[in-house]
Chains A and B, each alone.
Chain A
Amino acid sequence: MLLELKGLCKSFGSVVAADDLNLALAPGEALGIIGPNGAGKTTLFNLIAGSLAPDRGEIRLNDRDITTASAHQRCKFGIGRSYQVPQPFESLTVFENLLVGAVHGRGLAERDAAAPCADILLRTGLIARADTPVRSLTLLERKRLEMARALATKPQLLLLDEIAGGLTEAECGALIETIRDVHAAGTAIVWIEHIVHALLAVVGRLIVLDFGRKVAEGEPHRVMASTEVRQIYIGIEA
Chain B
Amino acid sequence: MAGLADTIIQGVLLGGLYALFAAGLSLTFGIMRLVNLAHGDLIVLAAFAILALASWLAVDPFLALLVALPLMFGVGFGLQHVLLNRALGHGILPPLLVTFGLSIIIQNGLMQGFTADSQRLQAGAIETASVSLGGGVTVGLMPLATFGSAIVVILGLNFLFYKTPLGRAFRATSDDLEIAELMGIDHRRIFSIAMGVAMIVATVAALYLGMRANFDPTIGPARLLYAFEAVIVGGLGSFWGTLAGGVIIGLAQTIGAELNPEWQILAGHLAFLVVLVLRPRGLFPRALD
Contacts and interface: CB of A to CB of B under 8 A. Distances in A.
Given A96-B168, A110-B165, A104 B184 contact: yes
A90 interface: yes
Interface string B73-105: 000000000000000000000000000000000
A156 to B, nearest CB: 14
Contacts of B179: 83, 87, 89
Interface stretch (A13-21, A69-77, A121-129, A162-170): A69-77
Interface residues of B, number: 19
A97 B171 CA distance: 10
Given A89-B176, A90-B175, A72 B168 contact: no
B181 interface: yes
Given A90-B175, A92-B168, A99-B168, A51 B186 contact: no
Contacts of B186: 70, 72
A51 to B, nearest CB: 6
Interface string A81-121: 10100010111100011011101111100100000000000
Nearest to B187: A72
Interface residues of A, number: 31
A75 B182 contact: yes
B178 A103 contact: no
Contact of A100 (B169, B178, B288): B169
**For chain B, what secondary structure do more than half of its interface residues adopt (helix, strand, loop), or is it mixed?**
helix
Contacts of A150: 182
B73 to A, nearest CB: 21
B172 A81 contact: no
A72 B176 contact: no
A67 interface: no
A100 B180 contact: yes
B181 A91 contact: no
A9 interface: no
A10 to B, nearest CB: 17
Contacts of A153: 183-184
Given A89-B172, A92-B168, A100-B169, A105 B178 contact: no
Contacts of A72: 180-187
A107 B178 CA distance: 19
Contacts of A105: 183-185
A87 B187 CA distance: 17
Given A89-B171, A91-B171, A92-B171, A100 B176 contact: no
